[in-house]
């Protein structure tokens, strides 16, 4: 067992999955027209439309920072604002990218322990101010699943979109781990997006086994107007677009997009079930995707680090273990054993 | 012979070269730390430092639009300006990206037939206005080779950087096809960059056989301050950075970076030599890299298109043929034959 | 005669006219609600609506740089472009303000000797490119009168707006000296704005006798949506708005807006008529507003400067004399006499 | 007594004070060179340098939104951040202007009841994150006095600037009511700015009796580099600059700048002393400038409104009364009487 296999700090430490790799390999035969005019890009977009049972507009961006930031920028003006939860990645980990892409739109942050927004939070922020000196809310962004691994149910999303509709807000979904939410809910992608009132989805591929490349889906074509130019100007139009698009074909056609997520989710559940009743160890959040957040004393966490395990820790004793498409369940068992030993030791 | 092999519209229609592919494959084993903290990124940066014989700062961006625009934004303020030639890609083909990334810096355009800037042009633009109502020039950007395939000699660049130094301007090089210039000049990369006074180089990989990923080299570390944060905010920090970095390792360590360029340049020369004396056909520019610009009557160009050849045409009868790392010399011969037949027919 | 009275370099060297001053004085009695919720702002807006016979939306900004830049920013996206003439103030004298306010929109410049755009110029620029790599034109901006003092006739504007309509472009008018055009044409403000197809007008007050404060008129309310917030975010919402609005009341209710312009225009004509047939002296442009552009040898211009006259000169021997609301016709006569003496001497 | 004289909602409801008006009148004689090259602007800048006993760089902007936002933008990059208190005007009432002018810099907000920042708050925010995914703090902005009327003592500011120095942060002071702080502290302007470590001050004139026009003072000339161009591009360079500068001459030379503030502060104290011991009435903050924040039951506040008094109210029963240079002390007494009647009634 190498050091790397003990690495649970992030699901983007994993490499490229076989299905994505094979598709890139296949696309890498001969020449292809550039800038998305190729057959691979067309086919990938069509696969998304099939999967979502929607004639949606599909764009590709290099990473999630850009995908989410451009989507938000397209939904509001610089003098407007975006409602998000306090743990939203756009607020906590994008170094001001949404503000940069939108030329100054403000994020209005709702305190939230589990990262989920509720209609009441949205309503409170959207109606807190109505004067010219404060940016009016125009968009709500939710992360599905949240940064703490919590999943919005179909009903959750419908309730949010109803509030958005009432308040004249657009609903954006940051789906960096969208597949993992689908895997947990056992629903179709359409059920938790356009059928539930989501306007724009950023569907992440990187954390689920791809090298680069996130898809942006506009379920209302009118909102997508000019988005191709926006991507170009913002440095997000790939000349060899086929290498962003083809892996999606591999993922979607083979079912790996869902299988990978199911595997990662399964590893998280496996760990959670084996450690949740240990003395001193507590699950900070229910396990609903591919992350396990443990509350444990420093002695246990130090012990684990000494044994070579790598994970993120937070102030107050929280430890995050992330699982990927390639996580070895045997290593998860080893980790569980070591946690047990540390807890009982 | 398939349709694709007759495709000479752009050098970014080519795929990923074997050396880049193999390096990605090798990097795709197990896990690696994200966001450029991995061993591949370190090694790629070191290879650049060796190649340039410089302790330069190295960053990676997804594409040339972003690499050049971020570099320019880091060298000037929004209320300053950038001197470029009228055919500079940043002016003609980036959909306002330099203006967007810099939040409004203006491009001052020098008319230039071959796309090359001269010290006189720089001086004229930099000193044309000195009042508060016009943005002061702060950067000069040159494309090496230019968009018409012309190469700046070592002396050309030294003369430009001397003018820049005198006028308090920074010198940026858009090296989308930098390797092709090195191949033509037979010089070391250092000779036409920092040794000749270039401050920042964007070294393109995509047009030379990579999937994505351009390198940005700051030869003065002080100018690079904060550039990592700039990349992050601008949506240009790859989480799985190893897949942008590893191909560079493959290219640099194997020598493919130069070999590919030499091959493409050679194909261009091959075509030029075979058609330059044909009746009605004229080389618009000397062939100094991987492009051939032909002036020919519509009858000839239509004839070529009818035979399945693909290339860009410009108003006034110019046709551009671009050659890539994978261009088949036999097909170049076939093309030359068809041009001959059309011209003599 | 003091030095200042020989000053014809710019019409913004003049002070505040009596009508504007009196209105500020009147407004400066007691308290008033801030940020434009006061009675003066309401009344000024109503006066504009009467003058233009239009239920237009009216906003006030501190200066023309901001008024024009915000108007343009509201009419296009950052990845789109604005068509203007090569001598347009937004291109030549705003230090990149339109690019800054719009977050990167590009100005597409039509070469024009007299500063006027024609439908053909607009059509050529708007249709020159249709690919993703170049920003699509979305707005046309014309200066009425132009920076060389030329006036667009009603028919000129109708022809331009017809072209705009056909090409899906908005038509913006930079009216820094709008009153002077009305004075020349003898038409109503409506005739050369909304009735001729102009979407947004920036109506300048500063050059016509006010201290600060330009009005922005949207003839289509839908286009004005959110513009109040835009002004606020861009630092253009005055807390004591009454002092921007009241002078407009003074100007509009007293007729000074037109009288001042007629006076300035008259001074220009007066000079032109007295010098146009002098040897060596040539009018560079017909006099259609408050500027006279003379072509004259250096000997004449130097002679004038020696006599204390102040004016702008341009490369090639052009000299610009600007006249203001307070120009003393006797001094214009003195200037004409000195030009005659210099020319005949 | 008119309705207006009962107006205590804001100190920017007041008009132009006699000293500012007289100076504008004096400046309005004949012509003057535009864009700040006039004698008035020079003289106003010199007066600031005398008052602050500093060879500082002085600029003028139209309003506080722009002055503060441009100052902050000049002190950090788009990918950096600004530390402020939760009640800072730049955070709560500028509609995203700092984010817009800086092209995306984030405000890091320290919860603060009285609006004051402490070195501990600054240290906590500046050191909370050091990874690439979060914007590094580069500036601290404090409002003197705060939005709740609290004044930073000389020692407070020195302690903050020491922390800033240690953490490599610049210290910016939003002095929308700077004169009021000087009046309260009885110190020289230098004592609470550059002598205490402040790098840049925005000195507000509007709330203290001017029509428009805030001064921006850079105590370190190097930091001011290019700020004139920044003002121009951002639409903050007045053509008839004398009308922004002259009122400052009137204020500074006559001493009105301090006298006005003393008067307004005195009115606040007068009210506070008369109502602080009334049953049900409580001062939310000590009165240290020209604002009184009262906590009182709705019955009292409604009663006051019924009697024609106008003031801002906040959730939880707070009422804000602001006093201006022209507040009539007799009316303050009437207000105090009405509060007493309402409280005792």
Chain C hits for B135, CB-CB cut-off 8 Å, are 95-96
Chain D hits for C10, CB-CB cut-off 8 Å, are 34, 239
Q: Are strands C312-314 and C318-322 parallel, antiparallel or unpaired?
A: antiparallel
Q: Are strands A214-218 and A57-61 parallel, antiparallel or unpaired?
A: antiparallel
Are B92 and B65 in contact by the 8 Å Cβ rule? The answer is no
Q: From the list D100, D207, D237, which residue is nearest C233 (CB)? A: D100
Asked if pLDDT for residue B132 goes beyond 80, the answer is yes
Residues 276-295 of D with CB under 8 A from C: none
Q: What is the count of residue pairs from B and D with beta carbons less than 8 Å apart?
A: 49
Contact C233 D63 (CB under 8 A): no
Chain B hits for D77, CB-CB cut-off 8 Å, are 226, 229-230
Are A88 and A147 in contact by the 8 Å Cβ rule? The answer is yes
What is the torsional sign of CA D164, D165, D169, D171? positive
Residues 69-98 of B with CB under 8 A from C: 78-79, 81, 92-97
Chain C hits for A35, CB-CB cut-off 8 Å, are 132-133
Contact D77 B228 (CB under 8 A): no
Contact B95 C79 (CB under 8 A): yes
Q: Closest Cα partner for B207 from B179, B227, B249, B226? A: B179
Q: What are phi and psi of C29, to 5 degrees?
A: -120, 110
DSSP H helical ranges for B128-177: 154-167
Are C80 and C167 in contact by the 8 Å Cβ rule? The answer is no
D134: nearest CA partner in chain B: B229
Q: What are phi and psi of D140, to 5 degrees?
A: -115, 135
| Chains with at least 3 CB pairs less than 8 angstroms from chain D | A, B, C
pLDDT of residue B31: 92
Asked if pLDDT for residue B91 goes beyond 80, the answer is yes
User: Residue B51: how many CB atoms within 10 A of its CB?
Assistant: 19
pLDDT of residue C2: 43
What string of DSSP letters covers B282-333?
EESS---SSEEEEE--HHHHHHHHHTT-B-EEETTTEEEEE--TT--HHHHH
Q: How far apart are CA A84 and CA A173, in angstroms?
A: 10
Q: From the list A94, A95, A104, which residue is nearest D96 (CB)? A: A104
On whether any CB of chain A is under 8 Å from the CB of D247, the answer is no
Q: Closest Cα partner for A174 from A217, A209, A136, A212? A: A217
pLDDT of residue D48: 98
Peptide bond into D334 cis (omega under 30): no
Q: Is C336 helix (H, G, I), strand (E, B) or coil?
A: helix
Contact D243 C212 (CB under 8 A): yes
Q: From the list A206, A243, A324, which residue is nearest B239 (CB)? A: A206
Contact B235 A7 (CB under 8 A): no
Contact B240 A206 (CB under 8 A): yes
Contact B233 A95 (CB under 8 A): yes
Q: From the list C28, C63, C211, which residue is nearest D235 (CB)? A: C63
Q: How far apart are CA B31 and CA B33, in angstroms?
A: 7
Q: How far apart are CA D171 and CA D142, in angstroms?
A: 8
In sequence order, the 6+-apart residues with CB closer than 8 A to the CB of C120 are none
DSSP H helical ranges for chain D: 18-27, 39-52, 64-75, 89-92, 97-102, 119-127, 154-167, 178-185, 227-233, 242-254, 256-275, 298-306, 329-344
ipTM over 0.85: yes
A131: its two tokens: 């004067």
- The alpha carbon of residue D169 is apart from the nearest alpha carbon of chain B, in Å, by 15
Per-residue pLDDT reduced to its tens digit, B114-126: 999 999 999 999 9
Angle formed by the axes of helices B242-254 and B18-27, nearest 10°: 130
Q: What is the count of residue pairs from B and C with beta carbons less than 8 Å apart?
A: 57
Strand order, beta sheet including B214-218: B57-61, B214-218, B200-203, B170-175, B136-143, B80-85, B106-110
- The alpha carbon of residue C91 is apart from the nearest alpha carbon of chain B, in Å, by 9
| Chains with at least 3 CB pairs less than 8 angstroms from chain A | B, C, D
Q: From the list A13, A61, A235, which residue is nearest B31 (CB)? A: A13
Q: From the list C95, C103, C133, which residue is nearest B133 (CB)? A: C95
Per-residue pLDDT reduced to its tens digit, C233-271: 999 999 999 999 999 999 999 999 999 999 999 999 999
B82: its two tokens: 């950038």
In sequence order, the 6+-apart residues with CB closer than 8 A to the CB of C217 are C48, C52, C54, C56, C57, C58, C193, C200, C201, C202, C203
B104: nearest CA partner in chain D: D233
Asked if pLDDT for residue B159 goes beyond 80, the answer is yes
Q: In sequence order, what are the beta bridge partners of C294?
A: C283, C319
Q: How far apart are CA C97 and CA C92, in angstroms?
A: 10
Contact D93 A133 (CB under 8 A): yes
In sequence order, the 6+-apart residues with CB closer than 8 A to the CB of C46 are none
Asked if pLDDT for residue B2 goes beyond 60, the answer is no
Q: How far apart are CA B47 and CA B257, in angstroms?
A: 12
Q: In sequence order, what are the beta bridge partners of C170?
A: C139
Q: From the list B95, B101, B134, which residue is nearest C95 (CB)? A: B134
Contact C80 A226 (CB under 8 A): yes
Mean pLDDT of chain B, nearest integer? 96
Contact D79 B232 (CB under 8 A): yes
On whether any CB of chain D is under 8 Å from the CB of B28, the answer is no
Interface test with B, best of D226, D233, D236, D241 (most B CBs within 10 A): D233
Residues 166-195 of A with CB under 8 A from C: none
Contact A232 C78 (CB under 8 A): no
Contact B230 D77 (CB under 8 A): yes
Chain D hits for A100, CB-CB cut-off 8 Å, are 78-79, 103-104
Are A172 and A152 in contact by the 8 Å Cβ rule? The answer is no
Angle formed by the axes of helices C154-167 and C119-127, nearest 10°: 20
Peptide bond into C145 cis (omega under 30): yes
Q: How far apart are CA D255 and CA D260, in angstroms?
A: 9
Burial class (CB in 10 A: 0-12, 13-18, 19+), B162: middle
Q: Euclidean distance between the first and final Cα of chain C, in Å?
A: 23
D36: nearest CA partner in chain B: B132
Q: Closest Cα partner for C83 from C100, C98, C62, C66? A: C98
- The alpha carbon of residue A18 is apart from the nearest alpha carbon of chain D, in Å, by 29
All residue ranges of chain A with pLDDT < 50 are: 1-3
Chain D hits for C21, CB-CB cut-off 8 Å, are 28
Q: How far apart are CA C66 and CA C214, in angstroms?
A: 9
Asked if pLDDT for residue C26 goes beyond 90, the answer is yes
On whether any CB of chain C is under 8 Å from the CB of D312, the answer is no
CA distances from D147 to B264, C55, C255, D290, D322 (A): 66, 39, 43, 10, 11
On whether any CB of chain C is under 8 Å from the CB of A226, the answer is yes
Instruction: Find the radius of gyration of the CA atoms of chain D.
Output: 20
On whether any CB of chain C is under 8 Å from the CB of D163, the answer is no
Contact B100 C103 (CB under 8 A): yes
User: Residue A270: how many CB atoms within 10 A of its CB?
Assistant: 19
Contact A95 D103 (CB under 8 A): no
Q: Euclidean distance between the first and final Cα of chain B, in Å?
A: 23
Contact C77 A230 (CB under 8 A): yes
Q: From the list A61, A101, A211, which residue is nearest B240 (CB)? A: A211
Per-residue pLDDT band for B1 (boundaries 50, 70, 90) equals very low
Residues 204-223 of C with CB under 8 A from D: 206-207, 211-212
Which domains, and CATH codes, for chain B?
18-255 (3.40.640.10), 257-344 (3.90.1150.10)
Q: From the list A13, A34, A212, which residue is nearest B238 (CB)? A: A212
Contact D16 C243 (CB under 8 A): yes
All residue ranges of chain D with pLDDT < 70 are: 1-4, 315-317
Contact D33 C12 (CB under 8 A): no
Q: Closest Cα partner for D132 from B243, B229, A332, A17? A: B229
Asked if pLDDT for residue B191 goes beyond 90, the answer is yes
D21: nearest CA partner in chain C: C25
Q: How far apart are CA C62 and CA C65, in angstroms?
A: 9
C35 phi-psi bin (left φ>0, alpha ψ -120 to 50, beta other): left
The residue count of chain B comes to 345
D133: nearest CA partner in chain B: B232
Q: What angle do CA B72, B76, B80 make, to 5 degrees?
A: 115
């Amino acid at each position: 067992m190498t050091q790397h296999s003990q690495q649970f700090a992030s699901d983007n430490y994993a490499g490229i999955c076989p299905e994505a790799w094979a598709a890139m390999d296949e696309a890498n035969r001969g020449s292809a027209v550039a800038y998305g005019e190729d057959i691979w890009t067309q086919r990938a977009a069509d696969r998304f439309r099939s999967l979502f049972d929607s004639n949606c507009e599909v764009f590709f961006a290099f990473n999630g920072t850009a995908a989410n930031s451009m989507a938000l920028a397209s939904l509001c003006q610089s003098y407007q604002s975006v409602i998000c939860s306090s743990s939203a990645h756009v607020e906590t980990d994008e170094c001001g990218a949404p503000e940069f892409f939108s030329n100054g739109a403000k994020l209005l942050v709702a305190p939230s322990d589990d990262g989920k927004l509720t209609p009441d939070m949205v309503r409170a922020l959207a109606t807190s101010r109505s004067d010219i000196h404060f940016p009016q809310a125009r968009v709500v962004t939710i992360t599905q699943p949240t940064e703490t691994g919590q999943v919005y149910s179909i009903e959750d999303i419908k309730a949010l979109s109803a509030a958005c509709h009432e308040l004249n807000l657009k609903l954006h979904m940051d789906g960096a781990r969208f597949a993992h939410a689908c895997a947990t809910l056992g629903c179709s992608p359409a059920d938790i997006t356009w059928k539930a009132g989501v306007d724009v989805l950023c569907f992440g591929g990187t954390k689920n086994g791809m090298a680069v490349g996130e898809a942006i889906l506009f379920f209302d074509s009118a909102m997508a107007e000019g988005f191709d130019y926006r991507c170009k100007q913002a440095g997000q139009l790939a000349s060899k677009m086929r290498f962003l698009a083809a892996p999606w074909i591999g993922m979607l056609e083979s079912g790996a997009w869902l299988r990978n997520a199911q595997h990662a989710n399964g590893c998280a559940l496996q760990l959670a079930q084996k450690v949740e009743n240990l003395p001193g160890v507590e699950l900070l959040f229910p396990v609903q995707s591919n992350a396990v957040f443990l509350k444990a004393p420093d002695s246990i966490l130090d012990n684990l680090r000494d044994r070579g395990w790598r994970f993120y820790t937070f102030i107050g004793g929280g430890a995050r273990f992330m699982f990927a498409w390639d996580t070895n369940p045997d290593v998860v068992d080893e980790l569980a054993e070591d946690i047990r030993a540390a807890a009982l030791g």
